[in-house]
Amino acid sequence: MITVYCPHCYTANPENSEACAQCGCSLQHEEEKRFVEKLIWALKHPEPTVGPRAAWVLGERREAQAVDALITTVESSEEMALLEEAVVALGKIADPRAVPCLEQSLRQSYLSVRQRAAWALGRIGGPAVIDALKLALEDPNQTVREAALESLSNLSHRAGRSS
């Protein structure tokens, strides 16, 4: 049987318990943590549809603790669907640590991944991002150039509002 340890008194409770049988403290947080860990684990799943779906869910949940795993995925995977979703997730979470791997994807990856990297970098922003997006205006593919242009224009609007 899978057990969940109470973060308070270390009592082993059955999986899916809402509260600790010993002290009554909530176990929902532990459940949540385990769910996110499972999603991160699933990024490397051999079944090709599982990883992309996990990446999508992590992005929708804006899971900051998944950023490192998503970066590793973008740096190491060659699966197009997984790369697409991991790049989008990093854009949604918008952690600046993701900028170098997204720049790399923008320069050299599948067309659909370059396009998403342009979008994701636009969500994160910052001076380094603007240089990378300007370079992408020379991308051989029009969809990528358009995505880069849109991100640049969104970023300049944002800068205009804050100054």
Q: Which helix (H) or strand (E) holds 5?
A: strand 3-5
Alpha-carbon dihedral sign for residues 9, 13, 16, 18: negative
Considering beta carbons, is residue 8 or 62 the nearer one to Zn ion? 8
The per-residue DSSP string of 96-147 comes to: GGGHHHHHHHHHSS-HHHHHHHHHHHHHH-SHHHHHHHHHHTT-SSHHHHHH
Q: Does 23 bind Zn ion (CB under 5 A)?
A: yes
- Kindly determine how many residues on this chain lie close enough to bind Zn ion according to the rule CB under 5 A: 7
Q: Does 27 bind Zn ion (CB under 5 A)?
A: no
Q: Does 111 bind Zn ion (CB under 5 A)?
A: no
Among 20, 39, 88, 106, indicate the residue that binds Zn ion (CB under 5 A): 20
Tell the smallest beta-carbon distance from residue 9 to Zn ion (Å).
3
Piece of the chain touching Zn ion by CB under 5 A; list 21-29, 31-39, 53-61, 141-149: 21-29
Nearest-10 crossing angle of helices 127-136, 142-162: 150
Distances (CA, A) of 132 to 87, 97, 118, 128, 162: 15, 15, 9, 6, 22
Considering beta carbons, is residue 17 or 105 the nearer one to Zn ion? 17
Considering beta carbons, is residue 5 or 35 the nearer one to Zn ion? 5
Tell the smallest beta-carbon distance from residue 31 to Zn ion (Å).
14
Q: Does 8 bind Zn ion (CB under 5 A)?
A: yes
Considering beta carbons, is residue 1 or 163 the nearer one to Zn ion? 1
Piece of the chain touching Zn ion by CB under 5 A; list 2-10, 87-95, 116-124, 146-154: 2-10
- In degrees and rounded to multiples of 5, residue 25 shows phi and psi of -75, 155
User: Under the rule (CB under 5 A), what is the footprint of Zn ion?
Assistant: 6, 8-9, 11, 20, 22-23
